[in-house]
């Protein structure tokens, strides 16, 4: 087993004692960093960057050189899976991701194969292996995937959506077709994340960005049950160490108890729920990750530090908290504000961990 110089992120996810609260940021490798923009320009476009293991490694490591982060996260995209399934992913300028061949019928879904992560998604595994090697045991590496429901929204809508009318039409008029797709996606995500773990990811996270657009019953039927299936199918120990699993649904405050009951190790929180409330509801069942509003990083340093203190106080003393933003860092945030945030978490959290 490789010795980790800093394992407080993994320890916090397993609710073990730590010296300070660990912190990382969703989208920490990204467009707010000038060095990322330069590397992306070198790659030519976003997917070329994802598919080049050396460049994907470079952008994964960039935020670690600037900030005292407690974890690295694989540089990739949730839409690698639908792309590997043959839907033809491309990116429109200013429009975001698009698919050439969105799914419109049961027959489209029946034709979908489950990609082999070491064949169609080999470039992701190459990136994981390259990043893990270059981290040299400094901090853990997080692997990730989109949730089946979130992946399905893009695959059926053909890209981003505001009203999600196409996927909801299928959910309510052809539920058997949508359930077949979600089941295939759950099987694919299990293979994909287990391959990332085998390649060197030391923790994995499932991003359910669009689960919050569902009603409570439909969330359980179309999103949560498939994430539960994924949790049940994941490798939970590798290289002599437990591999913690975090589930994150945006706008999921009302379903915290149900998410915690899946058997995951941690629940990601967006900024629309008070962390004290979340902790009182799920208790010691899971660790919590979150949950500062990403827009707080536009504020002056003193206000950022005040917010960090407020969230730390809300969670209270003891282990089980990974500090993060409630969603990805915005692309126009000054990097120096991100540094204020990361440093404040470490400095201000020490009193909460004194034995």
The one-digit pLDDT tens for each residue of the chain (355 residues) are 678 999 999 999 999 999 999 999 999 999 999 999 999 999 999 999 999 999 999 999 999 999 999 999 999 999 999 999 999 999 877 778 999 999 999 999 999 999 999 999 999 999 999 999 999 999 999 999 999 999 999 999 999 999 999 999 999 999 999 999 999 999 999 999 999 999 999 999 999 999 999 999 999 999 999 999 999 999 999 999 999 999 999 999 999 999 999 999 999 999 999 999 999 999 889 999 999 999 999 999 999 999 999 999 999 999 999 999 999 999 999 999 999 999 999 999 999 998 6
pLDDT for the residue 191:
98
Q: Residue 294's closest CA among 40, 11, 94, 27?
A: 27
Does 179 carry a binding-site annotation? no
Rg, the chain, Cα only: 19
pLDDT at position 1 is 64
Residue 95: what pLDDT? 72
pTM of the model: 0.97
Give the integer Cα–Cα distance in Å for 245 and 323: 16
Q: Is 327 labelled a binding residue?
A: yes
Helices (H), ranges, 200-224: 216-219
Count other C-beta atoms under 10 Å from residue 300's C-beta: 10
16 neighbors 3 (Cβ within 8 angstroms): no
Residue 154 marked in a binding site: yes
Give the integer Cα–Cα distance in Å for 263 and 224.
Answer: 12
Question: According to the annotation, is 209 in a ligand binding site?
Answer: yes
CB-count burial class (<10 Å; 0-12, 13-18, 19+) for 180: middle
Check the annotation: does 28 bind a ligand: yes
Taking the domains of the chain in order of start, what are their residue ranges? 8-272
Active-site hit among 9, 32, 36, 154: 154
Q: Which of 40, 220, 236, 241 is catalytic?
A: 40
SS3 assignment, position 7:
coil
Number of H helices, E strands in the chain: 16, 11
* pLDDT at 96 (0 to 100): 85
31 is a catalytic site residue: yes
Catalytic residue list contains 281:
no
Question: Does the annotation count 83 as an active-site position?
Answer: no
Whether 77 is catalytic is: yes
Is position 303 annotated as part of the catalytic site?
A: no
Distance CA 14, CA 174 (A): 40
Query: Which of the residues 66, 77, 101, 218 is marked catalytic?
Result: 77
Structure token pair of residue 157: 């809508």
Q: What is the pLDDT of residue 121?
A: 98
Nearest to 211 by CA among 267, 148, 166: 148
Q: What are 151's two structure tokens?
A: 């992946």
* Domain 8-272 CATH assignment equals 3.40.630.10: no
Percentages (nearest 5) of helix, strand, coil residues in the chain: 50, 10, 35
31: annotated binding-site residue? yes
| Exposure letters 208-241 (e unless 16+ CB within 10 A, then b) | bbbbbbbeeebbebbbbbbbbbbbeebbeeeeeb
């Amino acid at each position: 087993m490789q010795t980790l110089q800093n394992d407080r992120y993994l320890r916090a996810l397993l609710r073990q004692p730590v010296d300070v609260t660990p912190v990382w940021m969703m989208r920490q490798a990204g467009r707010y960093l000038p060095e990322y923009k330069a590397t992306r320009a070198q790659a030519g476009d976003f997917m070329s960057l994802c598919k080049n293991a050396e460049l994907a490694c470079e952008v994964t490591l960039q935020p670690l050189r600037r900030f005292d982060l407690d974890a690295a996260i694989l540089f990739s995209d949730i839409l690698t899976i639908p792309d590997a399934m043959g839907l033809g992913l491309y990116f429109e300028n200013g429009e975001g991701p698009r698919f050439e061949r969105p799914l419109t019928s049961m027959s489209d879904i029946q034709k979908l194969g489950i990609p082999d992560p070491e064949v169609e998604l080999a470039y992701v595994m190459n990136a994981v292996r390259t990043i893990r090697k270059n981290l040299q045991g400094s901090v853990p590496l997080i692997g990730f995937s989109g949730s089946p429901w979130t992946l399905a929204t893009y695959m059926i809508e053909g890209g981003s959506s505001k009203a999600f009318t196409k996927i909801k039409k299928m959910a309510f008029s052809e539920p058997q077709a949508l359930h077949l797709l979600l089941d295939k996606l759950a099987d694919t995500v299990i293979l994909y994340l287990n391959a990332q773990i085998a390649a060197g990811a030391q923790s994995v996270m499932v991003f359910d960005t669009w689960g919050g657009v569902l009603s409570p019953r439909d969330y359980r039927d179309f999103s949560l049950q498939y994430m539960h299936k994924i949790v049940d199918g994941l490798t939970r120990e590798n290289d002599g160490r437990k591999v913690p699993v975090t589930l994150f649904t945006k706008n999921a405050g009302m379903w915290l108890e149900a998410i915690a009951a899946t058997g995951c190790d941690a629940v990601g929180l967006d900024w629309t729920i008070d962390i004290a409330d979340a902790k009182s509801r799920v208790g010691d069942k899971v660790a919590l990750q979150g949950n500062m509003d990403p827009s707080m990083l536009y504020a002056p340093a003193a206000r950022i530090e005040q917010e960090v203190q407020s969230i730390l106080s809300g969670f209270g003393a003891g282990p089980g908290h990974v500090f993060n933003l409630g969603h990805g860092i915005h692309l126009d945030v000054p990097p120096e504000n991100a540094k204020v945030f990361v440093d404040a978490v470490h400095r201000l959290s020490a009193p909460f961990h004194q034995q």
